[in-house]
Amino acid sequence: MPDQFDQFAAKMREHDMSETAINQFHRLYDVWKADEGSTWIREADVEPLTGVPSFHDVYETIDHDEAVNAFAKTAFLKLNGGLGTSMGLDCAKSLLPVRRHKARQMRFLDIILGQVITARQRLNVDLPLTLMNSFRTSKDTMKVVRADKKFHQTDIPAEIIQHVEPKIDLATGGPVSFPSNPDLEWCPPGHGDLFSTIWESGLLDTLQEHGFKYLFISNSDNLGARPSRTLAQHFENTGAPFMVEVATRTYADRKGGHIVRDKATGRLLLREMSQVHDDDKADAQNIDKHPYFNTNSIWVRIDALKEKLAEYNGVLPLPVIRNRKTVDPTDPSSTPVVQLETAMGAAISLFEGAICVQVDRMRFLPVKTTDDLFIMRSDRFHLTDSYEMEDGNYIFPSVKLDPRYYKNIHDFDERFPYSVPSLAAANSVTIEGDWTFGRDVAMFADAKLSDEGAPRYVPNGEYVGPQGVEPDNWI
Q: Which of 178, 211, 198, 187 is nearest to 69 (CA)?
A: 211
The pLDDT tens digits for 232-247 are: 999 999 999 999 999 9
Per-residue model confidence (pLDDT) at position 135: 87
Active site residues: 368
Q: How far apart are CA 23 and CA 163, in angstroms?
A: 12
The pLDDT tens digits for 8-39 are: 999 999 999 999 999 999 999 999 988 755 57
With a cut of 80, say whether residue 395 has pLDDT above it. Answer: no
Residue 386: pLDDT band with limits 50, 70, 90 = confident
The pLDDT tens digits for 257-301 are: 899 999 999 999 999 988 899 999 999 999 999 999 999 999 999
**56: phi then psi, degrees, rounded to nearest 5:** -65, -40
With a cut of 50, say whether residue 396 has pLDDT above it. Answer: yes
Q: For residue 242, is it left (φ>0), alpha (ψ between -120 and 50) or beta?
A: beta
Share of the chain above pLDDT 70, in %: 97
Cα-to-chain-centroid distance, residue 98: 16
Give the start-to-end residue ranges of the domains of the chain: 5-363, 370-469
Task: Pick 101 or 16 by higher pLDDT.
Answer: 16
Per-residue model confidence (pLDDT) at position 105: 85
With a cut of 90, say whether residue 45 has pLDDT above it. Answer: yes
Residue 89: pLDDT band with limits 50, 70, 90 = confident
Per-residue model confidence (pLDDT) at position 238: 96
Q: How far apart are CA 226 and CA 344, in angstroms?
A: 18
| Residues 282, 285, 288: CA angle, nearest 5 degrees | 105
| Residues 304, 308, 313: CA angle, nearest 5 degrees | 145
- Write the single-letter amino acid at 329: P
Per-residue model confidence (pLDDT) at position 28: 94
Distances (CA, A) of 130 to 39, 222, 404: 33, 16, 37
Average pLDDT over residues 88-110: 86
With a cut of 90, say whether residue 327 has pLDDT above it. Answer: yes
Per-residue model confidence (pLDDT) at position 1: 34
**Helix, strand, coil: what percent of the chain each, to 5?**
35, 25, 40
Per-residue model confidence (pLDDT) at position 100: 80
Angle between helices 19-34 and 5-14 (to 10 degrees): 150
Hey, CA dihedral for 343, 347, 348, 354, is it positive or negative? negative
Per-residue model confidence (pLDDT) at position 36: 54
The per-residue DSSP string of 86-132 comes to: GGT-SS-GGGSEEEEETTEEEEHHHHHHHHHHHHHHHHT----EEEE
Which CATH number is 370-469 given? 2.160.10.10
Per-residue model confidence (pLDDT) at position 158: 97
Q: How far apart are CA 471 and CA 475, in angstroms?
A: 9
Say which CATH superfamily domain 5-363 falls into.
Spore Coat Polysaccharide Biosynthesis Protein SpsA; Chain A (3.90.550.10)
With a cut of 90, say whether residue 315 has pLDDT above it. Answer: yes
Task: Identify whether the C-beta of residue 79 lies closer than 8 Å to the C-beta of residue 219.
Answer: yes
Task: Identify whether the C-beta of residue 438 lies closer than 8 Å to the C-beta of residue 461.
Answer: yes
Per-residue model confidence (pLDDT) at position 38: 57
